[in-house]
Amino acid sequence: MQVIQSATQLLEVCQAHRLAGRSIGLVPTMGYLHNGHISLVESLRPKVDILIASIFVNPTQFGPSEDLDAYPRDEQGDLEKLRDAKTDIVFLPTTTEIYQEQGELSLKPPALASRLCGASRPGHFSGVCTIVLKLFQLSRCTDAIFGEKDFQQLQVLRAMNRQLWLGINIHGGEVIREADGLAMSSRNAYLGESERIQARVLSRGLIAAKRAFRDQTQDAPLTHSSLLAVIKSEIPEENPEVIIDYIEVVDPRSLTPTENITESTRVILAVKVGKTRLIDNADLSTNDGLSHHL
Ligand code: AMP
């Protein structure tokens, strides 16, 4: 496994692989890797000749009051996990390696990025699009994979790929969860013992939604508002430790609220547990990582 810190070195190495006709897969991460990240590596690994993982805590996607400096890091542990998962190249740049000039350009993301997390975290998706486009350019990747855990991010990046004719095969990776249903996240490391228990409300809301969809009858079909009520009943508003940012029932492509409740409708939510902002989402099917909780 090759560890590269220099942007120009990565570019040269990747250009050589492309000239030799090899396909390149990219797995962008911010490090502190867990099984969710590794599942992305494992699912892309068989599809490409060269597998690159990047570890970069991207400052431009953090707001001024967010957790950039406190973001957890474990470089040695990350490298071991990536080696075990048969990664060919790890790109591990410094901030100045990525942002070399003062006043650099930043991308204005598509409208898809303005709601949900985009509304709560102004500038976040601009930072995400900018860093991902830089990583696409440096890696010359043919394929890239992003987790459905960050469903809005996945859809925003698919829109960028389409609208800029980048021609990259963008894959989505299923959400990997802890045994109790909590979606794995580097930010789970911030949770104290009682917060960790409170954090179950996110997956509980999603499980309740799936159950309600499965159990609806012709006489009492599920509607947008009855589905929202089911989810909200799992996430009490009066709990001071759990502050709801948003709970929405949306069309998976437009990410806008929908009255057309089907198996592919997405329930998407963001909740602050103590100081930690957690997000999660799922469709209404019964064949994903939450199914055994139904
Ligand atoms: P991050 O390091 O949080 O920026 O995440 C890097 C990539 O891993 C993103 O594409 C995330 O969507 C994905 N990811 C994070 N958590 C999970 C998870 N629990 N299951 C699947 N993918 C995940």
Mean pLDDT by 10 residues, the chain (294 residues): 98 98 98 98 98 98 95 98 98 98 97 97 98 98 98 98 98 98 97 97 98 96 97 92 97 97 98 97 96 94
What are the Cα distances from residue 134, in Å, to 79, 165, 238? 22, 15, 43
The Å distance, Cα 173 to ligand 1 centre, comes to: 9
Residue 187 in contact with ligand 1 by CB distance below 6 A: no
Residue nearest to atom 17 of ligand 1 (CA): 36
Structural contact between residues 41 and 85, judged by C-beta atoms closer than 8 angstroms: yes
C-alpha to C-alpha distance for 75 and 72, rounded to whole angstroms: 10
Residue 57 in contact with ligand 1 by CB distance below 6 A: no
C-alpha to C-alpha distance for 82 and 7, rounded to whole angstroms: 20
The Å distance, Cα 71 to ligand 1 centre, comes to: 14
**Predicted local confidence at residue 62, as pLDDT:** 98
Residues in the chain: 294
- Where do we find the tokens 């590794």? 38
**Predicted local confidence at residue 58, as pLDDT:** 98
Residue nearest to atom 8 of ligand 1 (CA): 37
Over its C-alpha atoms, the chain yields an Rg (Å, rounded) of: 20
The pTM for the full model equals 0.98
3-state helix, strand, coil in the chain (%, to 5): 40, 20, 40
Residue nearest to atom 6 of ligand 1 (CA): 29
Phi, psi of 2 (to 5 degrees): -95, 130
Phi, psi of 160 (to 5 degrees): -60, -45
Residue 281 in contact with ligand 1 by CB distance below 6 A: no
Phi, psi of 243 (to 5 degrees): -105, 120
The Å distance, Cα 175 to ligand 1 centre, comes to: 8
Residue 183 in contact with ligand 1 by CB distance below 6 A: yes
**Predicted local confidence at residue 198, as pLDDT:** 96
Residue 61 in contact with ligand 1 by CB distance below 6 A: no
Give me the helices (H) in 7-123, please: 7-19, 35-44, 75-84, 95-98, 117-120
**Predicted local confidence at residue 236, as pLDDT:** 84
